[in-house]
Structure 1
């Protein structure tokens, strides 16, 4: 609870991540735009690939991804993260609400995916501030995909 208000779990995670980013030293947060800090399209593709391996290993969410076209998922998520980070890519996949309409995504599942995205970025040595900047751009998509 912050100032008498309860924050949804993912919002709390983002608030904590942004707070922790302020604690890191300048040497661990190179300047430059987010797209470049993520390693451009090649780096983002590696992050998404590592994320896919983490999803498979995560019993909280792996069943929700059972039967997906892995190649298409990888391409669309890479494009989406590339676009969100200010890169030259264009996401051409389906609308988030339409895509997730029958999935009944819970807070726990979204948080698990966000945790795995952070782990994938850490595995690829993405600076914490860049991780937080990307999360700040991903979190606003949540209302469109969650189980309403």
Structure 2
């Protein structure tokens, strides 16, 4: 009897997550509402942090050594809509990588509790 795979394993471990993260940032940077947040960001470093973060969040190794989420997003003015857009782009990147809907739902479920640490702004009236 085989053991159930972790989300990390289902996503293809390090190489699979790196591929999804690359596509995620292509989608984010093409999104006119999200791209301004990354104007002064070193993308190679950002992608590395995201890949390590996703690895840990999906049951893989925890190699993340960056700022905690509160500190990394403080003062950025990120709204609930922005957070939802990133989750949507993540779902697209995962779908394009051949990940099934149930697994995408599990990944989104792992990310949703982070909303309180990431959202630091309010939507414009």
Query: What TM-score do you get using the length of structure 1 for normalisation?
Result: 0.76
Aligned CA-pair RMSD: 1.2
Query: Which runs of 5 or more residues in structure 2 are unaligned?
Result: none
Query: Which runs of 5 or more residues in structure 1 are unaligned?
Result: 1-30
Q: Which has the higher contact order (CA 8 A, sep 6+)?
A: 1
Moved over 6 A (4+): none
Distance between the aligned counterparts of 1:101 and 1:74, measured in 2? 19
Asked if the contact 1:37–1:127 (Cα under 8 Å) also holds between the matched residues in 2, the reply is no
Equivalent of 2:108, from 135, 139, 145?
A: 135
Counterpart of 1:79 in structure 2 is 52
Flag the structure with larger Rg. Answer: 1
Counterpart of 1:39 in structure 2 is 12
Distance between the aligned counterparts of 1:141 and 1:111, measured in 2? 11
Aligned residue pairs: how many?
118
Equivalent of 1:91, from 64, 71, 79?
A: 64
Counterpart of 2:98 in structure 1 is 125
- Measure how far apart 1:90 and its partner are: 2.1
* CA displacement 1:43-62 (0-9 Å, x = unmatched): 00000000110011111211
